[in-house]
Amino acid sequence: MYKPMTLLALLLAGFLTACGGSDGGSVVTGGDGTSGGTDGGTGEVTTGTEIANPRLGTGVGSSFSEGTLEATVTNLSAGGTTQIKANIVDSDSGNRKIVSNPYAVVFSSRCSGAEPAQAVFSKDETTTSSGEVVVTYEARGCRDQDIVTFRLYETSEEGGGRTGDVLHTATLVLNVEPPETGAIEFATAEPSSISVSGIANTSLPKLSRITFRVLDNNANPISGKQVDFELTNAAGGITLSLNSAITNEAGEAFTILRSGTSHAITSVKATTTTNDGTVISTESAPISVTTGLPRQDKFSISAEVFNPGSYNRDNIAVGITAAAADALGNPVPDGTQFNFTTENGRIGDDASKSGSCTVSNGAGSCSVTWRSNGVRPFFEGLHPNGLQTVNERIGMTTIVAYTLGESGFTDQNANYLFDLNEPFVSWPEVFVDDDFDGAIDTGTNGLPVEDFIDIGNVGTYDEAPTVYQGVQCSQAARNQGHCPPGLVHVRDSLRIVQSLADSIDIRFFFQRNSVWTEVSSSAVDLEAELVNGRGEFYAVLQDGNGNIPENGTSLSVSGESYDVFGASGDVPNSIGTLDIAGLPAYGAAYYITYSPEPDAEGQRKIEFTATSGSGGLTSKERLDGVVP
């Protein structure tokens, strides 16, 4: 079967034979004996349909040079361009250009094949049926000699891309002037924070790779260029693995920064020279040398919801987040693990199914989920038989987060080391403070009845020591027992209250002898409570356990013949502690004032509507006032 272009060529040849050509042109005969096409009087093209030996080169006919390429410029400046072309001829037909068959040509060179590329072509390959091929070459960091190669292929029957083996090749040598050094720039510092040497912190490495890039005036990378390195701050014994390096094909040179024995902020200065000897320099981004260890006063825990409706419902979920920073307030490194424990319910990371989470993405924090289950704390006002538990608040639940770190000191001479006589704090072992009184409680046998984390693995609870617990100590302080082996558990705890779902009581408190006193709604006469035309009271919302109602519970207040002012809306997201004399210890308190509307007659009232956060209960109350 003939290819489309071959068929076209045959028809053209037949037409030209019948008409005797154009403008007196002659008919040429293909070297294989088939009828050829017109050469316009020059004999430079062939339309033969069976081409056995196509060739790449320059020129045609007797002037054809096989395997060579022609360039407009062969001696290029750095970053220069040139146009390169070749002809495709039939070597069996007097080296005439082939216009009867399409061919694919692929372009490559030594520099274009580098990684990254130091030269580019205007196209990677092309398909032509004109017997000519041309491409533009651009040097992008290439220097000295570059060998350009054209490779010839047949095309598929469907007119698609190249197919089969290489039919022929042609080459050309270009000479490229060395690039002019234009700039040196900082590339990367990986990582940007490293650990003080001598600290067993697996989350923070002790080495950082600092990379710079040298570019020419066209912003292309330059290889083979010497770059010199020096530290801007060598405090604590920070060192570099290399004082100089040679750029690679990407124009990059690097050195390794090694941490010292104390905290510091440093950077690396990189220097190179231009072609005329001018010195140019740049600096890396700052690299922090730190402990990377959480410090007690920079560790905290928080909850998304403090009053979930979970006292009477299992599997109610609350997100718990722990966050930490080191002594300088930098986020703890990725890989730092936080552990969690809870007085009641269960807590853990949904992904890993464990009671811990791991810091990632530079956040310095991570989260777990607490879920309700089990016998609730002080359930129905009772302690579980025989357990000697101490929580005296129904539904209150303590959650603790902890991790390894250091206790903290005041650095009075800015040497980042604990020195003798500097203020410091020390901490006992972590415990779950069920009654939140700040001390570990003991049972009838004198041993703890609140869970603790035995970091020393000795089976007994350890109080705070008299020495500084950390890793950054002067030798004099170490000689006095400070910075003992191992780390301390930094910790934080919070309480949530497991409120009753769909449970709301509305209580009212009025002033009696300057003390807030509960008054039942049926015993209130709002008119009698007016002082100088204004009344005030508290509406307190509680659940059936006397705690703040579940999160999302809301109160709306409206008056009839009264102007009503004050709080309304959702109950606070809190455990509901009320520090107002005369009011209950826990709940959601709304301070409300009111005054009669002018000229109102008959009965007056203020109405209250409370809707539970779970949506299953609406509770209403009303206070009346009667105009005499």
Which of 498, 513, 546 represents a domain boundary (last residue)? 498
- The domain tally of the chain equals 4
Q: If you average pLDDT over residues 10-27, what whole number do you get? A: 38
Taking the alpha carbons of 188, 191, 196, 197 in that order, is the dihedral positive or negative? negative
Q: How far apart are CA 119 and CA 109, in angstroms?
A: 8
What's the pLDDT at 227? 97
What's the pLDDT at 507? 98
Q: How far apart are CA 148 and CA 107, in angstroms?
A: 7
pLDDT of 30 over the 60 cut: no
Task: Choose among 108, 78, 109, 76: nearest CA to 222.
Answer: 78
Inside any domain, residue 40: no
What is the band of 416 on the pLDDT scale with cuts at 50, 70, 90?
confident
Together in a domain, 208 and 69: no
What's the pLDDT at 532? 95
Q: How far apart are CA 239 and CA 246, in angstroms?
A: 19
Omega cis (within 30) before 333: no
Write the DSSP string, 68-129.
B-EES-SEEPTT-EEEEEEEEEETTTTTEEE-SS-EEEEEEETTTTSSS-SEEES-SEEEES
| Contact in structure between 178 and 171 (CB atoms under 8 Å) | no
Instruction: Read off the pLDDT of residues 293-322 as tens digits, 9 standing for 90 and up.
Output: 999 999 999 999 999 999 999 999 999 999
Q: How far apart are CA 181 and CA 295, in angstroms?
A: 47
| Contact in structure between 119 and 71 (CB atoms under 8 Å) | no
Together in a domain, 191 and 313: no
What is the band of 459 on the pLDDT scale with cuts at 50, 70, 90?
very high
Q: How far apart are CA 537 and CA 539, in angstroms?
A: 7
pLDDT of 13 over the 50 cut: no
What's the pLDDT at 202? 67
Q: If you average pLDDT over residues 394-416, what whole number do you get? A: 95
What's the pLDDT at 179? 85
What is the band of 158 on the pLDDT scale with cuts at 50, 70, 90?
low
Q: How far apart are CA 7 and CA 101, in angstroms?
A: 10
CB-based contacts of 419, cutoff 8 Å, min separation 6: 412, 413, 474, 476, 477
pLDDT of 608 over the 90 cut: yes
What's the pLDDT at 19? 37
Owner of token pair 């006032």: 625
The lowest-confidence range among 48-52, 483-487, 595-599 is 48-52
Together in a domain, 150 and 285: no
Together in a domain, 193 and 172: no
Tell me the Cα Rg of the chain: 43
What's the pLDDT at 79? 83
What's the pLDDT at 290? 84
Task: Choose among 598, 594, 592, 540: nearest CA to 571.
Answer: 540
How far from 180 is each of 214, 274, 275, 476, CA to CA, in Å?
A: 11, 7, 6, 56
CB-based contacts of 258, cutoff 8 Å, min separation 6: 197, 206, 207, 238, 239, 240, 241
What is the band of 160 on the pLDDT scale with cuts at 50, 70, 90?
low
What's the pLDDT at 14? 42
The number of CA neighbours under 13 Å toward the Cβ of 602 is: 1
Together in a domain, 297 and 286: no
Inside any domain, residue 429: yes
Taking the alpha carbons of 417, 418, 424, 430 in that order, is the dihedral positive or negative? positive
Q: If you average pLDDT over residues 388-411, what whole number do you get? A: 95
- Containing 325, the helix (H) or strand (E) segment is none
Q: Are strands 226-231 and 144-155 parallel, antiparallel or unpaired?
A: unpaired
CATH number at residue 172: 2.60.40.10
Owner of token pair 């307190």: 540
Inside any domain, residue 33: no
What is the band of 628 on the pLDDT scale with cuts at 50, 70, 90?
low
Domain limits for position 279 = 181-290
Q: How far apart are CA 172 and CA 148, in angstroms?
A: 5
Together in a domain, 314 and 286: no
Q: How far apart are CA 510 and CA 529, in angstroms?
A: 8
Q: Nearest 5°: CA angle at 43, between 37 and 45?
A: 55
pLDDT of 513 over the 60 cut: yes
Task: Choose among 195, 417, 199, 364: nearest CA to 288.
Answer: 195
Together in a domain, 331 and 344: yes
Inside any domain, residue 398: yes
What's the pLDDT at 159? 58
Together in a domain, 494 and 516: no
CATH number at residue 580: 2.60.40
Instruction: Read off the pLDDT of residues 235-291 as tens digits, 9 standing for 90 and up.
Output: 888 999 999 999 998 999 999 999 987 788 899 999 999 988 999 999 999 998 888
Inside any domain, residue 20: no
Together in a domain, 318 and 428: yes
Which of 498, 514, 549 represents a domain boundary (last residue)? 498
Q: If you average pLDDT over residues 80-108, what whole number do you get? A: 93
Which of 268, 290, 312 represents a domain boundary (last residue)? 290
Q: If you average pLDDT over residues 464-479, what whole number do you get? A: 94
Inside any domain, residue 218: yes
Q: How far apart are CA 397 and CA 545, in angstroms?
A: 14
Instruction: Read off the pLDDT of residues 316-341 as tens digits, 9 standing for 90 and up.
Output: 999 999 999 998 888 998 899 999 99
What is the band of 49 on the pLDDT scale with cuts at 50, 70, 90?
low
DSSP 3-state of 477:
helix
Task: Report which DSSP code applies to 499.
Answer: P
Instruction: Read off the pLDDT of residues 551-585 as tens digits, 9 standing for 90 and up.
Output: 999 999 999 999 999 989 999 999 999 999 999 99
Omega cis (within 30) before 294: no
pLDDT of 173 over the 80 cut: yes
Residue that wins the pLDDT comparison between 422 and 204: 422
Task: Choose among 506, 582, 577: nearest CA to 540.
Answer: 506
CB-based contacts of 278, cutoff 8 Å, min separation 6: none
Inside any domain, residue 358: yes
Together in a domain, 278 and 164: no
What's the pLDDT at 294? 94
Q: If you average pLDDT over residues 118-122, what whole number do you get? A: 94
pLDDT of 11 over the 60 cut: no
Inside any domain, residue 28: no
Q: How far apart are CA 146 and CA 588, in angstroms?
A: 81
**Average pLDDT of the chain, as a whole number:** 89
pLDDT of 615 over the 50 cut: yes
Q: How far apart are CA 364 and CA 424, in angstroms?
A: 24
What's the pLDDT at 17? 38
Q: How far apart are CA 321 and CA 347, in angstroms?
A: 11
Instruction: Read off the pLDDT of residues 196-220 as tens digits, 9 standing for 90 and up.
Output: 887 756 678 889 999 999 999 888 8
Burial of 352 (0-12, 13-18, 19+ CB in 10 A): exposed
Task: Choose among 326, 481, 487: nearest CA to 416.
Answer: 326
Residue that wins the pLDDT comparison between 34 and 234: 234
The one-letter amino acid at 446 = G
Together in a domain, 468 and 333: yes
Q: If you average pLDDT over residues 92-106, what whole number do you get? A: 92
Together in a domain, 204 and 297: no
| Contact in structure between 183 and 218 (CB atoms under 8 Å) | no
Length of the chain: 628
